[in-house]
Structure 1
């Protein structure tokens, strides 16, 4: 068995090895963004020089931001470990609950206090970076649509929702582990499986609407054709929504969710060309009045910016949805869920053995063996090499699924429209299409634009 020092310094060394490796990969991509100033010949039919330059500068700014934020977070993580912040905050949590007449026997209560402290700390320390990213970086390139009041309310809501979800889940998980006996890992996995299914079930109807406005896609040509597309492949579509993503960002997206025969499709309003939200009716008037000032700020901001036509036409949206529905038809979502659950079961099983090793806790400055601390140390640090390998494998798998979904859309005779949509979305999102092969291999869960276009051409 390794000594305390060997465990601690091995973990620390691995964190820095991963950091330097990721920094090296980023530097390769950043070099391309700096040096490739003209549209490469193979991309001349895809991008004009003006859009290419904008995408290049956006990519360069994001990479520079990632460089500095990466250094900060790496140093912060190192200091937290080396200065013994984890055992300090754990003892502080014990002292806090002690003020209310509770002692160390109330481990779950102490764990909740520990989580609250770190959630508040994380929110506060990440705030300057989030503000810069939103109001400087994204603003500079025309993507930010948020006002400062909207951003602050959003941050507070995220913190409160995170607490409302994580605290009871962690409390129950600790309780199950403590009473589960030698085979607690089976019960813990079963509990987390139930939690996963529960979150998936309630997220779109109860959690997502706390942050964004969802409205039914109005009757018309687009709705009719989407319903016809879903029916043609037996997709059990029950609801069709548009999410008001333009209040937050100019980036666009589309997705589907739901279990069994209750599937829903969500389109971002930024995906739909010339989309106008439906007028509010009686029951929405009070809500509209409540956000009147915020809307005014958004409209003023929009008027100050030059109007640019973005989004996809009906045929292109159908092609994008054909790709997304391909993931459903080919069982990619189900397969990914199975992989995640298998991974969770294996992690809990290994945790059951490692959590008994006192030396692991001592390596990080603990003289007791709190369940929450064991989960944090083992899942976050001891499993780091495994997570890195698994993450790389999942990127390869994800790219494979994306190609398959493209070919599914192709089988529905939507190749031309999908290619057109991919090009438009790449332009609208200022995606830099020149990619370093090694950076792409380790970072892009979706194949780069040029690879997808070439792949679809090969089988034409």
Structure 2
């Protein structure tokens, strides 16, 4: 243990304590408002639906408390408990190539974390989601999904990790610039490939049938100047009762996707308004802005890692006796969130700002009243709480709270 050990423990304690305090505030606030529908929703949402959303939020919160404890224990075991150190020593002795020893050691740690998270994922799906009527998945589907995710992570992630480690070993002190360029290029490639290569591995995408809904959507696309490779219905109902819509892809490989259960829940004008919101993100260049922000933060993070990698105290302070590039990359990935926790409200603020802008776009290019009614249905059918704690939502919500968002749209409706 050295000075950095104590700095890490202080950062971990503070971030964990604040996170727990915020989660407790959220639970207390939701429970306090469980028995009364907010005034803005009294004519739109039943007390039964409001209480279901509250109970669903509280159930997820209790599981979240357990997950946080497990994550804390695992992080301490991996670092100060010596698991990372022992894993790297094992693979260094078993494999002659330092590069592949680092790849295998890193993969082993992430495999351990994946296995540790499985019970929580299973409980979330087959207890909480089942209890509230959202789970449509089977145990076989659950196992298949996790095996496919793990296999895909290995096929895609291991070569990328090997390339990054090779760059760290081979191109000198400014390796982090090359690594950043590779990661950004990889991210763009995955975004481009996702709609046609990756997503179909997990779901079936059926082109929307000709009819009034498709004609309405195509009219919206023409008004907004948006071109895509098609409008698709995704079989989201085979896993969950939650509904959504999104557009995905980059360049000439963009797709518009509706969950099948969303199409069954909303009327055509509401679907048009929801899609107009998603298109608002595109037209207001939110995707590009977020990509630029991610690029900048990634570059800064890699530059910091480029400095830390040459500091012996960084390794010894986190329980690793023998410094290596792979160990540095893994340690940085695992512990950085403890130091950046208080940046979350900044990120959440801009995300909520983008949501308001997308809602404004939807109100201008579809019917604001239909955007409101569609959102109310989504909040009700997805059991999203209408009464989140304001401070908790400021840290964790990428979307404005329901009451705030609806009030904003109603203002737009009145001024129209």
TM-score band by shorter chain is over 0.9
- 2:113 maps to which residue? 122
Cα distance in 2 for partners of 1:412, 1:262 equals 24
- 1:62 maps to which residue? 60
- 1:293 maps to which residue? none
- Out of 24, 27, 35, the position equivalent to 2:24 is 27
Paired residues in the alignment total 412
| Cα gap change, 1:418 to 1:436, in 2 (>3 Å) | same
- Out of 380, 391, 400, the position equivalent to 2:344 is 391
After superposition, the C-alpha distances for 1:312-357 in whole angstroms (9 at most, x for unaligned) are 1110000001010001110000110011011111212222222111
- 1:427 maps to which residue? 380
Q: Is residue 203 of structure 1 aligned with residue 194 of structure 2?
A: yes
**TM-score by structure 2 length?**
0.95
Three-state SS of the structure 2 residue aligned to 1:366 is coil
- Out of 49, 52, 55, the position equivalent to 2:50 is 52
Q: Is residue 418 of structure 1 aligned with residue 371 of structure 2?
A: yes
Q: Is residue 371 of structure 1 aligned with residue 369 of structure 2?
A: no
- Out of 239, 244, 249, the position equivalent to 1:253 is 244
- 1:141 maps to which residue? 132
Cα distance in 1 for partners of 2:174, 2:93 equals 32
After superposition, the C-alpha distances for 1:258-307 in whole angstroms (9 at most, x for unaligned) are 2234421011111102xxxxxxxxxxxxxxxxxxxxxxxxxxxxxxxxxx
- 1:409 maps to which residue? 362
Unaligned runs of 5+ in 1: 274-310
After superposition, the C-alpha distances for 1:124-157 in whole angstroms (9 at most, x for unaligned) are 2222111111101100000000111111111111
- 2:4 maps to which residue? 7
Three-state SS of the structure 2 residue aligned to 1:190 is helix
- 2:307 maps to which residue? 353
Answer yes or no: is the 8 Å Cα contact 2:194–2:249 preserved in 1: no
Three-state SS of the structure 2 residue aligned to 1:255 is strand
Cα shift at 1:424? 0.3
**TM-score by structure 1 length?**
0.86
After superposing the two structures, state which structure 1 stretch, 170-179 or 375-384, moved more. 375-384
Cα shift at 1:413? 4.2
Q: Is residue 83 of structure 1 aligned with residue 65 of structure 2?
A: no
Cα distance in 2 for partners of 1:82, 1:181 equals 30
- Out of 15, 18, 27, the position equivalent to 1:18 is 15
Q: Is residue 441 of structure 1 aligned with residue 371 of structure 2?
A: no
Matches within 5 A, 1:271-290: 271-273=262-264
Q: Is residue 132 of structure 1 aligned with residue 123 of structure 2?
A: yes
Cα distance in 1 for partners of 2:362, 2:140 equals 41
Answer yes or no: is the 8 Å Cα contact 1:236–1:262 preserved in 2: no
Cα shift at 1:9? 2.0
Q: Is residue 164 of structure 1 aligned with residue 155 of structure 2?
A: yes
- 2:223 maps to which residue? 232
Runs (4+) of structure 1 exceeding 3 A deviation are: none
Cα distance in 1 for partners of 2:168, 2:104 equals 19
Cα shift at 1:437? 0.9
Cα distance in 1 for partners of 2:75, 2:253 equals 43
Three-state SS of the structure 1 residue aligned to 2:19 is helix
Superposed CA RMSD in Å reads: 1.5
Cα shift at 1:201? 1.4
| Cα gap change, 1:191 to 1:225, in 2 (>3 Å) | same
Bigger radius of gyration, 1 or 2?
1
Answer yes or no: is the 8 Å Cα contact 1:227–1:237 preserved in 2: no
Unaligned runs of 5+ in 2: none
Q: Is residue 113 of structure 1 aligned with residue 104 of structure 2?
A: yes
Cα distance in 1 for partners of 2:210, 2:41 equals 38
Answer yes or no: is the 8 Å Cα contact 2:388–2:401 preserved in 1: yes
Cα distance in 2 for partners of 1:246, 1:15 equals 39
- 1:220 maps to which residue? 211
Cα distance in 2 for partners of 1:245, 1:149 equals 16
- 2:93 maps to which residue? 95
Cα distance in 2 for partners of 1:262, 1:455 equals 33
Cα distance in 2 for partners of 1:205, 1:264 equals 9
After superposition, the C-alpha distances for 1:383-402 in whole angstroms (9 at most, x for unaligned) are 642x3243321100000000
Three-state SS of the structure 2 residue aligned to 1:181 is coil
Cα distance in 2 for partners of 1:179, 1:372 equals 13
Three-state SS of the structure 1 residue aligned to 2:225 is coil
Three-state SS of the structure 1 residue aligned to 2:243 is coil
- 1:180 maps to which residue? 171
| Cα gap change, 1:271 to 1:200, in 2 (>3 Å) | same
- Which structure ranks higher in relative contact order (CA pairs < 8 Å, sequence separation ≥ 6)? 2
Cα shift at 1:14? 1.2
